[in-house]
Structure 1
Amino acid sequence: MILKFRFYLLLPLIVLQGCANTLQNHPDVVSARANGVPIFIYGKYVDTPNSAGGVGVKFRFQNLSEKTIKYVYFEVVPYNEVGDVAHSEIGRKSRAILEYTGPVNANEYVPTAYWENVWYNSQINCIELKSVKVEFINGDLRVFGEDELRRVSTKNTQMLIGDITESCDYKGE
């Protein structure tokens, strides 16, 4: 199942422009661009479940290429607090493919890509990113599997709240 959403501009244009300029000069972004990485992911976030147990997902990313992105597909899996894969109470799905519809112009920063109620399970507290597929307007495709995701993310970026390749393993005793 592919979930679609619409992009809502949540920040004033002046703030967005300021963040984008700061991010473009970050050493990790400069390195990724120099290595031909087309997309840089700054963060992934799972919402606190709503009153019905619906859990939303957010991503922040930037198009580092000179081409316009048509679609980005984020493949994600939810986990509970003890590190087990969580399934939605509606439909029993766990893995989801989240489709972001562009266009995302060259060097454009997307501060909030959001999908509401991806799963219904109040135990979900973490997601792992399994793959990212980038489709450009001209038909070119780039796919990044689990082993390649470190090339499109960082845990050192000041704008990042959490490492997008962080494991959802149980971190207790």
Structure 2
Amino acid sequence: MYRQALFTLIALILAIGLISGCSSNSNTDKKVIEDLQNQLSDRDSEIESLNAKISGLQSEMTAMTNELDEVKNGPQNDLIAIRNSYEKKQYLEVIAKAKKIHEKYNGTPEDKEAQKLAASSTQILSKLDAERKAEADRKKAEAAKSAREKARGILRVSKVYPGEPNSADGVNLYVHWTNKSDKTIKYIYFEVVPYNAVGDIVSSDIGGGSTFRGMHTGPTKPGVSFGSQYYWENAWYNNTITQVQLRKVDITYMDESTITLSGDDITHIQY
């Protein structure tokens, strides 16, 4: 209102000056106009300052209102949020929110209920973790059982052992095995490593190698077995060999299909 009135007054003064055409009054009119403009500028500054103060007061009022609401309704609002998370089965959120309400409102009824919900959430999560672990263990056991049964449906190795060193320190290799598959074996290779009495891998004095790869040529029909009457003569030359370990088996069938047994398979087929 004040600003509008000043503008109206300035306009009237200008209009009067134009109508009268009196040059003697022009300087006076200009001075009046300048004074009015200065007043207008001062009032604008005052208005801006008042608006800034009003904005600050409004912010303070909003903050105070929020603080008051927090004091009056904060615990209840937080508890409602925790209840909602619990109903949605968001148990990790329940635990996190319960921790915050305990820090802010320790000992209040809302805090006590929140801690009960957090404890219940912890128990549920522990139960779920146990169920997941049990399921994972069950699947792992089933997979291992399946792998064992699969391997045992291919081959059985009942014994693997070295013979006594002969006069030239030659050591024979004995492998007792059975074709457990429903296919006829064309070639089978047994990869074996020798050890001494203290459990160290040893090498052959002739040739220098440790791993021996014994080959058997078929045809070996399903169900056929080989025992102590069949062996590889002088697989190594080393009189310290006391035991051997089967590492791998490669099989080629008469239909030219192949299969390799290694790792856990070797454990499975030795029984």
TM-score, scaled to structure 1: 0.66
AA at the equivalent of 1:132: V
Corresponding residue for 2:251? 134
Shift >4 Å, 4+ stretches = 31-34
Matches within 5 A, 1:1-173: 35=150, 37-111=153-227, 112-154=229-271
Unaligned runs of 5+ in 2: 1-145
Shift of 1:64: 1.2
State the distance in 1 between where 2:187 and 2:230 align. 12
State the distance in 2 between where 1:32 and 1:146 align. 11
CA contact (8 A) 2:248 2:263 kept: yes
CA contact (8 A) 2:147 2:265 kept: no
Higher relative CO (CA 8 A, sep ≥ 6), structure 1 or 2? 1
- SS of the residue aligned with 1:150? helix
Decide which structure has greater strand share.
1
What percent of counterpart residues are identical? 37
AA at the equivalent of 1:38: I
Cα 1:142–1:52, aligned 2, differ >3 Å: closer, same or farther? same
Shift of 1:135: 1.0
CA contact (8 A) 1:40 1:152 kept: yes
Unaligned runs of 5+ in 1: 1-30, 155-173
User: Cα deviation per residue 1:25-50 (whole Å; 9 max; x = unaligned)?
Assistant: xxxxxx99964621111111210100
State the distance in 2 between where 1:34 and 1:85 align. 30
Cα 1:32–1:47, aligned 2, differ >3 Å: closer, same or farther? farther
State the distance in 1 between where 2:215 and 2:221 align. 17
Aligned residues: 124
TM-score, scaled to structure 2: 0.43
User: Cα deviation per residue 1:118-156 (whole Å; 9 max; x = unaligned)?
Assistant: 1111011111111011111111111111221122121xx
